[in-house]
Structure 1
Amino acid sequence: MKTANFLKIFLLLVAVTLTSCSSESTDDGGGNGNGNGNQGLVLSADKTRVYENTIVTFTVMNGTVNVTSQATISLDGTPITGNTVLLDTVGSKVVTAEYNGDSANNVDIEVIVPSYSTKMIIEDYTGAWCGWCPRISQGIEDLGASNSNVIAIAVHNGDSMVFPFEGQMRQRFGVSGFPTGILNRDQSWNSVSGDAMNMTQPISYLNVQKEVGVAINSSITNNTLSASIRVGFDLDQSGLSLVVYALENGLIEAQRNYTNNYGGVDPIQGFVHEHVLSKNLTDVFGDPIPADQQVGGNEYSVTLTSNVAGVANQNDMEIVAFVVDASGKVVNAQKAQVGTNVDFD
């Protein structure tokens, strides 16, 4: 009899202990790992780092149930109407949510101003043999005289300055004749006459704020060109790649000319060819930037080298570095004379 009573008492103690443990576990579940809110109630935002005057949308989930429309969402302690808010002032914002007396986790939003100026690329498919090519050469000179954010790359065909991968590039971008100017690897540059190009078309690319910037520092030592490239990210990105070229300036070769530009003479003796694509330090279509580096507030850096022993004019070279998106279009670019350091701007 005593044994039976002892067994009953033991089983009762076990049951009480299990109930106590179960209750304690449920209470602990009221946190979200940082001491804020109910673990079952989760607040999220579609963006957590944005420019000024950006609309951010919030979602509140109670377990697997969307309770956004019933929840109270607050920005810096002040309830908002609905689940979207226009963030129009710079700084750190704290967003909270409540539902049925429970508090969700906090969400921090960083509102920033843009860090980078916008630059664009013109890839000029050209050749010294091409009589209509001075039309684009003149257009590039005129643009460069008025806007330093336009960066030219002359991709030569069929002359002493030919670039080895010109054919692959021409095929990729649908270049079927000379001259052809490709703007930001997006569309062809239109002419308005046999002598002139559409000068407003390239400038339209400069009217869009870019979330990515590029910085360049380079040097040449013992025929080795070294270029340190930094890519900065204002906001989160994905699918980006980096293209880095070395260009030569001041190369002399007679240029055929069917236009009225450069005095209308044909050929133009002693023509000075500028921005001539000489070396690629990455794949001509871009080396992928690691996905974990494409984070808002982060900088990706890489140092690239190339042997320039055969380059005719090492004393007048440029580095052009640009970022392309998953479709191959240029996102933003930078240019720097070799031997100089050009920071983000």
Structure 2
Amino acid sequence: MYSSVKSTFLALLLVLPFTSFGQSILSENFETNPFNNGWTAEQAAGSDGWGWGTTSSLSSAFFGIQDSPDGTNVVAANDDRCNCNASQDYLISPSFSLAGISGEVKLLFELYFLGGSYDGDTETAFLQISTDGGATYSNLMNLQGSESWQTVMVDLDSYAGYSDVRLRFHYNDNGGWLYGAALNSVNVFIPEPYDLRLVSVDIPEFLNIGYYDLDGRVINFGTEPLTSFDVSWNRGGTVYTSTISGINIEFGETYDFTHDTKLDLAVAQDYTITVAVDKPNGQDITTLTDNEIQKNITAIDVVVSKNVVIEQHTGAWCQFCPDGSYILRNIRENHDNAITVSIHNGDAMAFADGNTVGSEFVSGYPTGTIDRFQFPGQSGVDASRTTWENRYLERLGATVPFTVSAENTYDASSRMITVDMEVTSHSSFEGEPRLNVFIVEDSVTGTGSGYNQANAYNNQSGHPYQGAGNPIVGYNHMNVARAFLGGPWGEINSLPTSIASGETFSYQFTYTIPAGYDEDQIRVVALVQNFSSDGNDREIFNAVEMSLNESAENEVFQIVLSAEEADLVNDKMQIKIYPNPTSDKVNMAFVLKEQGNLTIDIIDLLGKSVKTVDYGMHYPGYYTETLNVNNLNSGVYFINIRNADSIVTKRLIVQ
């Protein structure tokens, strides 16, 4: 918690798109022009100052404002666009009164502010308050930077009783050429004693059949500490209620819960689940709002092998981008299912479709997207380079509805690539899925500023690019995106909008490799992606990659097995182990028919246990586990799989 002389505040690293708060004193959602509604802006000569509009209209090349979770329009100061004296960019609220108030008063607003640095300068932002109608202001807090929209909560109790109060948001570029700040949903209110909100429910859209924990998060907006509440989930009219107790959650604090009853998704079909929270501290409050979330889930009865597309947004001019390239290289070298792509901006390797993707997703450089997927708790799709590997691992375990099979042929005389794709759906799907092919080139070099890589790490001790120069002349650019054959968002009408489970579709792309590209360094990435008017809902479901004149496909494993199809079957377990032989890792898929503790024991030919893993309690349902065996000597082993009182054994060959 940050504090100053008169106030405290909490900046939450999650976004709370709520619509009402207790007794409202000041409420501004910026959907209509606030400068016609008492808000004002002041700035130094030559500065554009704070403006109003959509996030896209207020964005620029290097300050791309993520879509706000709380409406279409926002206010923003954009230093990147004007490159001007933005040291005195002020946004000032209308006057409001706190006279006659003796209890608690809160301020809540949404902030998009990177707190970024460039060329030795760092941007800052402040929240200030006036109690004399704007004649003088004092500082409430220094606003903290984040790569996503954040909810900032402020305690205004100390200002209760004043009748002419104004807020002022101050953006300061400190003389540099920086980024900017954006604001949305400003609310000053008197909180109710009991006010419980449901922030999120952690259920993916696609899951394999089985039984799952229902996890979620609540926030206490009541002045009374939250000591208990009910959480229920409803499927088809059947309601399961769990009481959470033994807690002490103060105003503005969140609590993560797990429902007592697991979600039963044992049948492959579509489900609609409604989750609700109520009865804070046992009180039957009928005025609760934002306390219910509905989720649509599709349960799938096959395991689809997943490849993850990691896109780095970079540029030869970007001094911090060598670090992103180094991280991307390590991910590719250490993870077989990582497909790595670098989309350039503002240099000799940039192209129009890449710029379109960057303008939609990127708020700074270097940054990246992982399957263009919006992870829970994030307000946008882009991710800091420090999170790429962990995000990759999260997506690797995702259940997806599509498999991709592709092959390409290359005619060296015409330099034409022909890519034939097949995509199979393993569930019903309603939406706008599209096919695409990325052309990627490795080991790209050139001369001049369009290729020579700026390098902030030339003098940083211990960094891999220490001493490489600044710029790095003759830099070897890897993973360079050259073309998106279906455009930035996929080929329109390449797949139908309504798809039944089991349907397969074919499509062909062609591309002529320009004369300056090295065909020996070309990779072809074939993928299926989603399109939506919401930029945060354009994920890449699955992909394969190949060199020229090669083919690739995603593997599929059927979960519900008959005795004839399973590798190992008894009356309580169905198990498949693959690949076998293996040199690195072995995947194990289980259908368990009773509750029990799952353990794996690898035995060598002398009867010695060489590896034991306890996976803990498992309920009836489908599960997958991956076991690393790269530290075992080559040879023949036996895997003993135990669950409850059942045991099966499988022969395993490690190469």
TM-score between the two structures when normalised by the length of structure 1: 0.63
Superposed displacement of residue 169, structure 1: 1.6
Question: Match of 2:382?
Answer: 188
Superposed displacement of residue 126, structure 1: 1.0
Using the alignment, how far apart are the partners of 2:403 and 2:305 within structure 1? 7
Q: Does 1:250 align with 2:443?
A: yes
Question: Match of 1:123?
Answer: 311
Using the alignment, how far apart are the partners of 1:189 and 1:86 within structure 2? 31
Superposed displacement of residue 115, structure 1: 4.3
Question: Match of 2:633?
Answer: none
Using the alignment, how far apart are the partners of 2:355 and 2:322 within structure 1? 21
Superposed displacement of residue 262, structure 1: 2.9
For the 8 Å contact 2:354–2:488, the answer to whether it is kept is: no
1:16-95 equivalences under 5 Å are: 51-53=208-210, 87=266
Alpha-carbon displacement from aligned partner over 1:232-269 (angstroms, at most 9, x marks no partner): 21111122112211111121243221132334522333
Using the alignment, how far apart are the partners of 2:363 and 2:464 within structure 1? 23
For the 8 Å contact 2:209–2:300, the answer to whether it is kept is: yes
Superposed displacement of residue 154, structure 1: 0.9
- SS of the residue 1:177 aligns to: coil
Alpha-carbon displacement from aligned partner over 1:123-147 (angstroms, at most 9, x marks no partner): 1111122111011101111111111
For the 8 Å contact 2:353–2:483, the answer to whether it is kept is: no
- SS of the residue 2:420 aligns to: strand
Superposed displacement of residue 303, structure 1: 0.9
1:215-234 equivalences under 5 Å are: 215-221=405-411, 222-234=414-426
**What is the RMSD of the two structures over their aligned residues, measured on CA atoms?**
2.8
1:1-345 equivalences under 5 Å are: 51-53=208-210, 87=266, 113-173=301-361, 175-186=362-373, 187-192=381-386, 199-221=389-411, 222-239=414-431, 240-253=433-446, 254-259=452-457, 260-266=463-469, 267-287=471-491, 288-291=493-496, 294-325=499-530, 326=532, 327-345=537-555
Using the alignment, how far apart are the partners of 2:385 and 2:312 within structure 1? 13
Using the alignment, how far apart are the partners of 2:355 and 2:265 within structure 1? 48
Q: 1:124 to 1:213 in 2, by over 3 A?
A: same
Using the alignment, how far apart are the partners of 2:488 and 2:388 within structure 1? 27
For the 8 Å contact 1:121–1:152, the answer to whether it is kept is: yes
Q: 1:269 to 1:332 in 2, by over 3 A?
A: same
Using the alignment, how far apart are the partners of 2:357 and 2:456 within structure 1? 26
**Which protein has the bigger helix share?**
1
- SS of the residue 2:465 aligns to: helix
Q: 1:113 to 1:177 in 2, by over 3 A?
A: same
Superposed displacement of residue 292, structure 1: 6.9
Using the alignment, how far apart are the partners of 2:334 and 2:429 within structure 1? 31
Q: 1:237 to 1:169 in 2, by over 3 A?
A: same
Alpha-carbon displacement from aligned partner over 1:207-246 (angstroms, at most 9, x marks no partner): 2122211122112211211111111211111221122111
Q: 1:268 to 1:86 in 2, by over 3 A?
A: closer
| Percent identical | 23
Using the alignment, how far apart are the partners of 2:385 and 2:415 within structure 1? 40
- SS of the residue 2:333 aligns to: helix
Using the alignment, how far apart are the partners of 1:307 and 1:198 within structure 2? 32
More contact order relative to length (CA 8 Å, sep ≥ 6)? 1
Letter in 1 for 2:487: D
- SS of the residue 2:520 aligns to: coil
Using the alignment, how far apart are the partners of 2:438 and 2:388 within structure 1? 26
Q: 1:223 to 1:143 in 2, by over 3 A?
A: same
Using the alignment, how far apart are the partners of 1:275 and 1:113 within structure 2? 35
Alpha-carbon displacement from aligned partner over 1:47-73 (angstroms, at most 9, x marks no partner): xxx954379xxxxxxxxxxxx99xxxx
For the 8 Å contact 1:226–1:306, the answer to whether it is kept is: yes
Q: 1:243 to 1:339 in 2, by over 3 A?
A: same
**Which protein has the bigger strand share?**
2
Using the alignment, how far apart are the partners of 2:510 and 2:430 within structure 1? 26
Letter in 2 for 1:262: Y
Question: Match of 1:100?
Answer: none
Letter in 2 for 1:130: C
The aligned length equals 244
- Unaligned residue ranges in structure 1 (runs of 5+): 1-49, 56-67, 70-83, 91-110
Q: 1:332 to 1:163 in 2, by over 3 A?
A: same
Q: 1:264 to 1:122 in 2, by over 3 A?
A: farther
- SS of the residue 1:171 aligns to: helix
